[in-house]
Structure 1
Amino acid sequence: MTIERRTFASDVEHRSAGLNRRLIIGYAYKFRSLSRLMGGFREQILEGAGAESIRRDDIRALLNHDANFVLGRNTAGTLKLAEDSTGLHYEIQADERISYVSDLLIALERGDITHSSFGFRVNAGGQEWAKHEDGFTPLRSINSLTILDVSPVTYPAYLSSESSAV
């Protein structure tokens, strides 16, 4: 099984959500936004690509895609996911009693971390290849994927992604 992760910058807000709880928000991907050049190609996520996965799958929020640093989980109710008109929006209930969560909130507030990413698998028949508008670079368009995680990250593949604390 091949797991692919894409990251990009996004705005994340931080809000108080009860005792020792704040929110980490962001966009893991924005529709039709191009990735950085990755191994000789660029890619984009098309509208609705993750909608079925959001309804069906057990998805985690991780810090920098590291399974040792779980921030939330949709099946636990600590991660909310939705594709809106912009892309894949997420909201994590950040419990500051967890040391790495507290550290992440500080990094988000300082602007040290401002982007997001997502781990995924492309579903069968879920991609199309064409040439980028430059006429040379291959362009991968993904229309169906299984989301494994969303992550505030240091180094994004998608510069349009966002993450912040509110």
Structure 2
Amino acid sequence: MPKPDIEKRSGIPAEIRADETGVKVSGYAAVFNQEADIGGYFREVILPGAFRKALGSNDVPFLINHAGLPLARTRSGTLKLTEDSHGLKIETELDASDPDVQRIVPKMKRGDLDKMSFAFRATVQRWDDTQDPPLRTVEEVELFDVSVVTDPAYDGTSIALRSLDEARKEGRRQHNAAAFARRKAEAEARFRNII
């Protein structure tokens, strides 16, 4: 079961080819600079470079619907993740003799299981709460997995709402701190003029 603050985004079609050597899956788990509606709570844009740090440090598995045993993973070299100008690209060749792969290949060929997704936590983000709905710009993420999924819907809406609430609280804290600093500076300026 995923941790409560891990978000999932999905809905990008994958390219799936099966031949005698294996099942090749490629596509984009995330696309940069495209605005997405996150359950009506807010909009989100992922910036180029958001995955750079995660790709250099995290072992990322390739899963089905963000669960179960890995079909491939970066640590073993069976999953290749790269960031290009379009987004987070995945490439893997699944083992045709793996029973889990044999179970899903017909579903993938029919298009029943053909969308890409990624599970992440935003570690650097900006919020523009002046728009309705607010806009979150994701600059850096911690990446937990990439998955082929059946349901392209955003399933992290309660997490998304908590993210929005936390961002609003942080915005209020920053606004109050700035207002306090401004009042303090004005008071010091008035005091200096009096003396």
Q: TM-score, length-normalised on structure 1?
A: 0.81
Q: Which has the larger radius of gyration?
A: 2
Question: More deviation in 27-36 or 98-107?
Answer: 98-107
What is the aligned partner in structure 1 of residue 58 from structure 2? 57
SS of residue in 2 equivalent to 1:77 = coil
Q: What does 1:91-130 align with in structure 2 at a 5 Å threshold?
A: 91-123=91-123, 126-130=124-128
1: CA distance between counterparts of 2:78 and 2:106?
A: 19
Unaligned stretches of 5+ residues in structure 1:
159-166
Letter in 2 for 1:29: A
Residue by residue, what CA displacement relative to the aligned partner does 1:110-141 show, whole Å, maximum 9, x if unpaired? 11122111011111xx1011259xx4111111
What is the aligned partner in structure 2 of residue 13 from structure 1? 16
2: CA distance between counterparts of 1:89 and 1:157?
A: 20
Q: Is 1:145 matched up with 2:141?
A: yes
SS of residue in 2 equivalent to 1:112 = coil
Task: Report the RMSD for the aligned CA atoms in angstroms.
Answer: 2.1
Structure with higher RCO (Cα < 8 A, 6+ apart) = 1
1: CA distance between counterparts of 2:30 and 2:92?
A: 16
1:80 and 1:91 in contact (8 A); partners too: yes
Q: Comparing both structures, which one devotes a greater share of its residues to strand?
A: 1
Residue by residue, what CA displacement relative to the aligned partner does 1:38-91 show, whole Å, maximum 9, x if unpaired? 25112121101001111111111110000x231111010110000111100001
2: CA distance between counterparts of 1:49 and 1:157?
A: 22
For residues 146 and 36 of structure 1, do their structure 2 counterparts lie closer, same or farther at Cα, with a shift above 3 Å needed?
same
1:113 and 1:154 in contact (8 A); partners too: yes
Letter in 1 for 2:127: W
What is the aligned partner in structure 2 of residue 136 from structure 1? 132
Identity %: 36
2: CA distance between counterparts of 1:11 and 1:63?
A: 13
What is the aligned partner in structure 2 of residue 161 from structure 1? none
Shift of 1:15: 5.4
2:66 and 2:145 in contact (8 A); partners too: yes
2: CA distance between counterparts of 1:107 and 1:114?
A: 8
Structure 1 stretches of 4+ with a deviation exceeding 3 A read none
Matched residues, number? 151
1: CA distance between counterparts of 2:103 and 2:87?
A: 27
1: CA distance between counterparts of 2:98 and 2:141?
A: 31
1:81 and 1:88 in contact (8 A); partners too: yes
2: CA distance between counterparts of 1:131 and 1:155?
A: 29
2: CA distance between counterparts of 1:85 and 1:15?
A: 27
Unaligned stretches of 5+ residues in structure 2:
155-195
